[in-house]
Amino acid sequence: MIGAAAGPLRILHLEDSDLDAELIEAELENLGHPVEIERVITRDEFAAAAQAGRHDLILADYVLPSFDGVSALGIAREQCPETPFIFCSGTLGEEVAVEALKNGATDYVTKQRLDRMPRTIVRALTEARARADKRAAEAALKALNDTLELRIGERTRELAETNAELQRQIGERERAEEALRLNQRLEAVGQLTSGVAHDFNNLLTVIAGNIEFLERAVSDDRSRRRLAMMRGAAERGAKLTAQLLAFSRRQRLEPTPVGLNETVASMRDLLQSSIGGAVQIETTLQGDLWPALVDATQIELVILNLAINARDAMAVGGRLTIETANIVVTGAPSRPEQPQPGEYVMVSVSDTGSGMRPDVLARVFEPFFTTKEVGKGSGLGLAQVFGFVKQSGGGIRIDTVLGEGTSIKVYLPRVVGGAAAATEKATPVDCALTHPPGSRPMLLVVDDDAEVREVTVTRLSEAGYDVREAASGLQALAALEADPCVNLVVLDFAMPGMNGAEVAIEIRRRWPGMPVLFVTGFADTTGLTQAGARGADSVVMKPFRDGELERKVAAALATRPAAALRLVSDRT
């Protein structure tokens, strides 16, 4: 109803407190409509302003130094009886509020619950509009009765025209709804087929890879013919998935003094790319924050892990807030994950998502416990966070409200003795010391599917490369932090949690010279381009065909043979 108003909402505000007036005016911004406020304090000012048609709504305090809300209500009922009148007071008891409603007040809001004001105002204005519409209808009925025959004829004609227009609109709406239903069905099938094709390509990669391994070991013709039949079936499966895709269009800890404010600030771009544009990121960083004694790499992964979990809890977007603070814990812990009494540096990740039920909260740190659907989470995320924080000498506290959101607070030990947090750039890593010229190239294979990863690693090892493995984007970043001397990263594009695009962006941010070769089961051209893929030579399709993987790995190493020989981590 407010959105349909021609101009700003005009409010007469009787309030003597500047602070309360400012708080109320700030809450009025949540109406989502321009507001024009005329504030008065004295009886004379109110009497002069409370005129019929001058305001859309009256907000009044109940107790003022030289005036009171009851008197204001009496003046308003006399001078502008049709204007909705709402009390907004911090001292308005239930009995007084009921008496005020009996005397003609439209509604009331306590200053302790100003968040209720927008919907109270909307309700009051809606009721006022309904009363106005009723009066207008009654006046129209009286006018109609005065010239009944003439108006009946005019009204009959209008109804006929309106009925014809309504029939036309109904026809248009039915056609639009049918088109929408069709589009939704196609979209649903497209999402299903793209997911099936991706998983199917992973299976085909395992099948085709092992067939190739067996062909090398089998010598009799009969077995070779059977393997050839199996390879042909795998190739037909690959063609089928290509058709589906065409349709769908788709530890060891090293604690050091760390400034968590700088850590959070440096991760801003990574967090935004990881959680998507539908989630707004806010930070509240304490200015005089103590340095924390923690493993710098692991705390980054903890923050990223918690942010991804928060994203998954906000199905339709929301707000993610990261906060830092100095905390002194005095009470004994009531749960095993909570911190012991002491001084801590706290970093919290809060969301406006679905919250946790008590039964989920009771098991949230158990390994392999997850509420996510199969394939969307391993159930190890919070368990890993718990282990890291407890090993670091800290604790965790979870505050959650079902349907409103969750806040996970991580408490880390502060540096004792005034040591400064590390903010300087890490020294360059000279990989020539550990990987001298002439040694076999080192590859990092990243894939969440263990069987696909085994096929990839086996093929590359047999091709003459030293290969390291990682089962997730977070593991890959941790592995590179521990040893960035890698000549090429072979990276799966579609992974749960932190996907290949997000991993590639972070790798290029931290290690600009590190080449990346993408492996994917579906051709998401836009996503691959955004992740930095340049042309067909930067992508290997699953299942692998005719030495394509080995050929493109060799090409990537040949074009940038020394790219990873001298790397600098920009971790602060």
Which CATH number does the domain housing residue 397 bear? 3.30.565.10
Single-letter code of the amino acid located at 27: E
Domain shared by 261 and 400, yes or no? yes
Single-letter code of the amino acid located at 555: A
In the structure, what pLDDT confidence band is assigned to residue 528 with cuts at 50, 70 and 90?
Answer: low
Q: Is residue 451 part of a domain?
A: yes
Q: What is the mean pLDDT of residues 249-275?
A: 78
Strand (E) positions, 414-483? Answer: 429-430, 442-446, 466-470
Domain shared by 266 and 346, yes or no? yes
Q: How far apart are CA 433 and CA 429, in angstroms?
A: 9
Single-letter code of the amino acid located at 436: P
* pLDDT score at 550: 92
**416: CB partners within 8 A, 6+ apart:** 293
Q: What number of CA atoms fall less than 13 Å from residue 413's CA on the CB side?
A: 17
Q: How far apart are CA 142 and CA 421, in angstroms?
A: 81
Strand (E) positions, 169-270? Answer: 255-258
With beta carbons less than 8 A apart as the criterion, state whether 533 and 517 touch: no
Q: How far apart are CA 448 and CA 451, in angstroms?
A: 9
DSSP SS3 for 303: helix
Report DSSP state, residue 337. Answer: T
Kindly report, residue by residue over 336-375, the tens digit of the pLDDT: 788 889 999 999 999 998 898 888 887 777 655 677 665 4
The first and second tokens of residue 117, run together, are 């004001």
Q: How far apart are CA 409 and CA 323, in angstroms?
A: 9
Q: Is residue 144 part of a domain?
A: no
Of the three residues 248, 279, 295, the one that is the final residue of a domain is: 248
Q: How far apart are CA 306 and CA 294, in angstroms?
A: 17
Q: Look up tokens 């024009």; give the residue.
A: 36
Domain shared by 369 and 236, yes or no? no
Cross-strand pairs, 57 = 11
- Torsion region of 566: left, alpha or beta (phi above 0 gives left; psi -120 to 50 gives alpha): beta
Domain shared by 318 and 404, yes or no? yes
* pLDDT score at 471: 85
Q: State the CATH number of the domain containing residue 126.
A: 3.40.50.2300
With beta carbons less than 8 A apart as the criterion, state whether 10 and 38 touch: yes
Report DSSP state, residue 8. Answer: P
Q: Is residue 496 part of a domain?
A: yes
Q: Is residue 41 part of a domain?
A: yes
Q: Is residue 114 part of a domain?
A: yes
- pLDDT for residue 256 is more than 90: no
Task: Using a pLDDT cut of 70, give the percent of the chain over it.
Answer: 81
Kindly report, residue by residue over 23-39, the tens digit of the pLDDT: 998 888 888 889 999 99
Q: Which of these ranges, 192-201, 284-293, 389-398, 509-518, has the smallest mean pLDDT?
A: 192-201
Q: How far apart are CA 317 and CA 52, in angstroms?
A: 44
Task: Using a pLDDT cut of 90, give the percent of the chain over it.
Answer: 20
Single-letter code of the amino acid located at 127: E
* pLDDT score at 564: 41
Q: What is the mean pLDDT of residues 486-504?
A: 86
| 486: exposed, middle or buried (Cβ count in 10 Å: 0-12, 13-18, 19+) | buried
Q: Is residue 149 part of a domain?
A: no
Q: How far apart are CA 327 and CA 70, in angstroms?
A: 47
pTM: 0.40
Kindly report, residue by residue over 270-313, the tens digit of the pLDDT: 888 778 778 888 999 998 999 999 888 778 888 888 888 888 88
Per the model's pLDDT, the better-predicted residue between 176 and 99 turns out to be: 99
Q: How far apart are CA 369 and CA 498, in angstroms?
A: 19
The first and second tokens of residue 223, run together, are 């077995």
Domain shared by 131 and 217, yes or no? no
Domain shared by 199 and 306, yes or no? no
Mean pLDDT over the full length of the chain: 80
- pLDDT for residue 327 is more than 50: yes
With beta carbons less than 8 A apart as the criterion, state whether 64 and 40 touch: no
- pLDDT for residue 246 is more than 70: no
Per the model's pLDDT, the better-predicted residue between 147 and 49 turns out to be: 49
Domain shared by 17 and 115, yes or no? yes
Domain shared by 129 and 226, yes or no? no
Q: How far apart are CA 562 and CA 486, in angstroms?
A: 10
Q: Which of these ranges, 92-101, 150-159, 240-249, 532-541, has the smallest mean pLDDT?
A: 240-249
- pLDDT for residue 169 is more than 90: no
Domain of residue 449, residue span: 429-567
* pLDDT score at 344: 94
In the structure, what pLDDT confidence band is assigned to residue 560 with cuts at 50, 70 and 90?
Answer: low
Domain shared by 244 and 261, yes or no? no
Q: How far apart are CA 548 and CA 560, in angstroms?
A: 18
The structural domain count of the chain equals: 4
The secondary structure of 464-523 as a DSSP string is T-EEEEESSHHHHHHHHHH----SEEEEES--SSS-HHHHHHHHHHH-TT--EEEEESS-
**161: CB partners within 8 A, 6+ apart:** none
Q: Is residue 7 part of a domain?
A: yes
Of the three residues 202, 225, 248, the one that is the final residue of a domain is: 248
Q: How far apart are CA 471 and CA 459, in angstroms?
A: 17
Of the three residues 220, 248, 276, the one that is the final residue of a domain is: 248
Domain shared by 334 and 477, yes or no? no
Domain shared by 67 and 210, yes or no? no
Q: Is residue 157 part of a domain?
A: no
Domain shared by 444 and 493, yes or no? yes
Q: How far apart are CA 87 and CA 73, in angstroms?
A: 9
Cross-strand pairs, 36 = 10
The first and second tokens of residue 305, run together, are 């892990």
Of 66, 22, 30, 75, nearest in space to 48 by CA: 75
* pLDDT score at 565: 42
Q: What is the mean pLDDT of residues 135-159?
A: 80
